[in-house]
């Protein structure tokens, strides 16, 4: 697919790592928080076309502050759970 690694909580993928970069799951509810921080979505090239996924670059401050990491992690897990509940 994109050549990265998925990060799961139970059976729900809430983050991915590609090229040593962490991206967090987002949806229509949470993506504004990523966009407000000017964090780009994950994209990869598939046969000459760029494909955007619903994962955004993780903010740098999560690496320095465990409380911030937990906040953003919960945001990503919540988005992944909402996405899972939409699927049949």
pTM above 0.95, yes or no: no
What residues does each domain of the chain span? 5-86
Among 28, 83, 78, 33, smallest CA distance to 58 is for 33
Could you read off the pLDDT of 39-78 as tens digits, one per residue? Answer: 999 998 888 998 889 999 999 999 999 999 999 999 999 9
- Does residue 34 contact residue 57 with C-beta atoms inside 8 Å? yes
Given this model, what pLDDT does residue 33 score? 97
- Expressed in angstroms, the distance from the first to the final Cα of the chain is 22
Q: CATH 3.30.1460.30: does it fit domain 5-86? A: yes
């Amino acid at each position: 697919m994109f050549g990265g690694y998925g990060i799961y909580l139970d059976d729900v993928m809430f983050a991915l790592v590609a090229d040593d970069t962490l991206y967090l799951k987002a949806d229509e509810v949470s993506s504004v928080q990523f966009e407000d921080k000017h964090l780009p979505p994950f994209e990869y090239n598939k046969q000459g076309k760029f494909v955007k996924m619903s994962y955004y670059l993780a903010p740098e401050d999560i690496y320095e502050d465990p409380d911030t990491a937990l906040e953003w992690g919960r945001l990503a897990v919540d988005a992944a759970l909402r996405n899972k509940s939409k699927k049949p």
